[in-house]
């Protein structure tokens, strides 16, 4: 079900009520209904849509709580300084009240497509990583004939075999149903994926980089690999799972990670991806406030999105 934005989430310190150079995002954010007809201005600014769903995490036998992630990220995002000439529109959340998770993903996809038509960038606040399959469905609706390159920064492949959609199946669903989509994942943990998942990666020609290759730097060969992948596709879908980040920085996730990546490395990778015009949607998944400490993970996710604003 679609819920309009909760305006009460957008508040913070007021340094000035008249000088825009001192404004924060909560002072300038817009609130609209994505089901209403769009104006004729074309793609501009940033649209925010939340996936307040953790049913996929539950089905994947994970720790629930990520459905509270989108609003936690909003609270952290709201108090950040306004950037010049960047408009932000909050469209609210999709929650899961359907019989099947796939129905919720389809509903979210329709709204993602609508936001793509309106905005240069669409920020998707998760929620479980089943948001990725919904993000893909929305992209495919917007670009029916394009080759889609999916880039995921994640400790896990999330290519499990199941008879239904979960937070661990998104990328298998994409690859098994779309011959015009490819998958590249950075941050893979040796101990976080079974041999079956590595076998599937080989069978499907999935490109991946291990986490321990990224502990200290993003080496030139990795940067080149990312840039080639972007070059080879018409549209890029970008998603980050917060469980790729070391639990010292991101304790509030559905599956915490020891020996994970640092936030600085994630940002360094993103610098090679976000500026490209082929990237219209960005999702961050698995922020779980139930296990967060001092809103550390929500603040980090919000800071990532802030860096991604163009």
pLDDT digits (tens, 9 = 90+) for 203-256: 999 999 999 999 999 999 999 999 999 999 999 999 999 999 999 999 999 999
Q: What is the pTM of this model?
A: 0.97
pLDDT at residue 41 tops 90? no
| Structural domains of the chain sorted by starting position, each given as residue range(s) with its CATH number in brackets | 2-308 (3.40.800.10)
Q: In the prediction, which pLDDT does 37 show?
A: 84
Q: In the prediction, which pLDDT does 8 show?
A: 98
**What mean pLDDT do residues 256-266 have?**
97
Grade residue 38 by pLDDT with cuts at 50, 70 and 90.
Answer: confident
- CA of 186: how far to CAs of 118, 123, 241, in Å? 30, 20, 10
pLDDT at residue 283 tops 80? yes
pLDDT at residue 303 tops 80? yes
Mean pLDDT (the chain, rounded): 97
Question: What whole-number distance in Å separates Cα of residue 157 and Cα of residue 155?
Answer: 7
- 233 within 8 A of 271, measured Cβ to Cβ: no
Grade residue 85 by pLDDT with cuts at 50, 70 and 90.
Answer: confident
3-state SS, one letter per residue, for the chain: CEECCCHHHCCCCCCCCCCHHHCEHHHCCEECCCCCCCCCCCCCCEEEEEEECCHHHHHCCCCCCHHHHHHHHHHHHHCCECCCCCCEEEEEEEECCCCCHHHHHHHHHHHHHHHHHHCCEEEEEECCCCHHHHHHHHHHHHCCCCCEEEEEECCCCCCCCCCCCCCCCHHHHHHHHCCCEEEEEEEECHHHCCHHHHHHHHHCCCEEEEHHHCCCCCCHHHHHHHHHHHHCCCEEEEEEEHHHEECCCCCCECCCECCCECHHHHHHHHHCCCCCCCEEEEEEECECHHHCCCCHHHHHHHHHHHHHCC
Grade residue 71 by pLDDT with cuts at 50, 70 and 90.
Answer: very high
Token code pair at residue 163:
């008879």
Can you say which residues are annotated as belonging to the binding site? 129, 154, 156, 158, 241, 243
pLDDT at residue 1 tops 70? yes
Q: In the prediction, which pLDDT does 43 show?
A: 82
Question: What whole-number distance in Å separates Cα of residue 286 and Cα of residue 240?
Answer: 9
pLDDT at residue 40 tops 70? no
Give tens-digit pLDDT for 120-131: 999 999 999 999
pLDDT exceeding 90 applies to what percent of the chain? Answer: 95
Provide the pairing of β-strand 181-188 with 88-95. unpaired
**What mean pLDDT do residues 271-276 have?**
96
Q: In the prediction, which pLDDT does 271 show?
A: 94
Nearest CA among 290, 295, 283, 293 for reference residue 66: 290
Can you say which residues are annotated as belonging to the binding site for Mn(2+)? 129, 154, 156, 158, 241, 243
pLDDT at residue 39 tops 80? no
Give tens-digit pLDDT for 154-183: 999 999 999 999 999 999 999 999 999 999
């Amino acid at each position: 079900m679609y819920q309009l934005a909760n305006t009460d989430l957008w508040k913070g310190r007021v340094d000035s009520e008249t000088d825009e150079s001192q404004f924060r995002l909560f002072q300038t954010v817009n609130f609209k209904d994505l089901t209403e007809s769009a104006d004729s201005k074309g793609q501009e600014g940033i649209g925010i849509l939340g996936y307040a769903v953790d049913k996929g995490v539950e089905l994947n036998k994970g720790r629930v709580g990520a459905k509270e992630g989108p609003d936690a990220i909003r609270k952290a995002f709201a108090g950040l300084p306004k950037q010049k000439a960047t408009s932000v529109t909050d469209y609210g959340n999709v929650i899961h009240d359907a019989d099947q998770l796939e129905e919720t993903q389809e509903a979210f996809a329709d709204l993602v497509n609508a936001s793509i038509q309106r905005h240069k960038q669409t920020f998707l606040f998760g929620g479980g990583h089943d948001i990725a399959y919904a993000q893909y469905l929305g992209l495919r609706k917007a670009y029916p004939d394009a080759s889609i390159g999916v880039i995921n920064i994640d400790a896990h492949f999330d290519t499990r075999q199941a008879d239904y959609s979960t937070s661990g199946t998104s990328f298998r669903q994409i690859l098994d149903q779309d011959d015009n989509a490819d998958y590249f994942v950075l941050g893979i943990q040796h101990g976080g994926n079974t041999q079956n998942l590595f076998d599937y990666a080989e069978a499907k020609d999935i490109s991946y980089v291990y986490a321990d290759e990224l502990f200290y730097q993003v080496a030139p060969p990795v940067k080149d690999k990312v840039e080639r992948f972007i070059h080879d596709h018409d549209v890029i879908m970008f998603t980050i799972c917060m469980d790729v980040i070391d639990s010292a920085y991101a304790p509030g996730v559905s599956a915490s990670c020891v020996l994970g990546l640092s936030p600085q490395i994630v940002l360094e990778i993103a610098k090679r991806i976000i500026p490209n015009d082929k990237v219209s949607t960005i999702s961050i998944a698995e922020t779980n406030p139930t296990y967060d400490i001092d809103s550390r993970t929500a603040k980090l996710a919000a800071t990532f999105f802030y860096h991604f604003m163009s």
